[in-house]
Structure 1
Amino acid sequence: MAREGYDRHGAELYRFALARLSDDAAAQDVVQETIVRAWRAGDRFDPSVASLRTWLFAIARNVVTDHLIARGRATSLSAAAEAHGEDHMSDQSAAVADADLITRALELISDDHRAAIVETYLRDRSYEDVAGELGVPVSTLRSRVFHGLRQLRTAMATMVVEP
């Protein structure tokens, strides 16, 4: 089904993504990710509900949204870095300390919660992708993230940051 979807609708999906992202590489990534998600979720495709084309475009719309959100985060981080200019070196030191604290705190929470947080927050992956990979419902993954963040905050609050 993924091969058929790509053969029949790949060019159209590319044009759809390019029109929304104005970036050739990002549009190609959207098509690839759309086909991968369709392949992973192939058992959920129901031709009595929607055509293959409609289903693929629904997936593509979600992938485009993910790209736009990621692009917005990257732009915000770049703008923040430029705005701080002179404080950049002290910000780097603080960022290293924060990363160390988070890494040590992640070691103190359960494996399920750690995996949920690392994949969704740190690797910026969608809940649907991570849930599918872990073999759990999206609602279970969301619960793991919620409770994992709570455990992480508690762990970090009890830790002492070393100078």
Structure 2
Amino acid sequence: MNSSSTLRRTSAEELAELQRDHGRALFGFLLGLTHGDAQRAEDLVQETLVRAWQHPEALETAHESMRPWLFTVGRRLAIDARRARLSRPQEVEAEALEHSPAPEDAVAGAVTAIDVRRAVRGLGPEHRDVLVEVYFRDRSVSEAARELGIPAGTVKSRTHYALRALRRGLPGYGRG
């Protein structure tokens, strides 16, 4: 065997020893930092051990235990991973997108508003007044009746016929 493979084996043995001695405690510590996400905690344990392998000088210290160094590296990796996740837009499942409402199209909304205003202006004054009170001023039938000085039944009737006229005057908007 050449010296490089001997060095690698020793390093692998030391790494295995680190895992045996500190892996469970490191995992528990990182599990807390990841709010119980075991997969993420395991990934961070592995990355921490990779860092130990990449920095053999850390293993050659006179410290009694490697645990503080491992915990510090693991904590920093957890913080970096969290920052990286927060800096990216959150991933959304394709299925969730299929069931979410489409965002409002401002142009389409403006065009619809213009079409509705035009259709309402085309109604007779009795029908237009009832729709303005009930739908645009959000008044109840009795409030609209009181405001317009007509019976509640008349408000209901005029509202019905006004909406029917609007449907005819707005082809392509719902039922015809």
Asked if Structure 1 and Structure 2 have the same fold, meaning a TM-score greater than 0.5 normalized by the shorter chain, the answer is no
Greater share of helix residues, 1 or 2? 1
Ranked by relative contact order (alpha carbons within 8 Å, sequence separation 6 or more), the top structure is 1
Shorter-chain TM range is 0.3 to 0.5
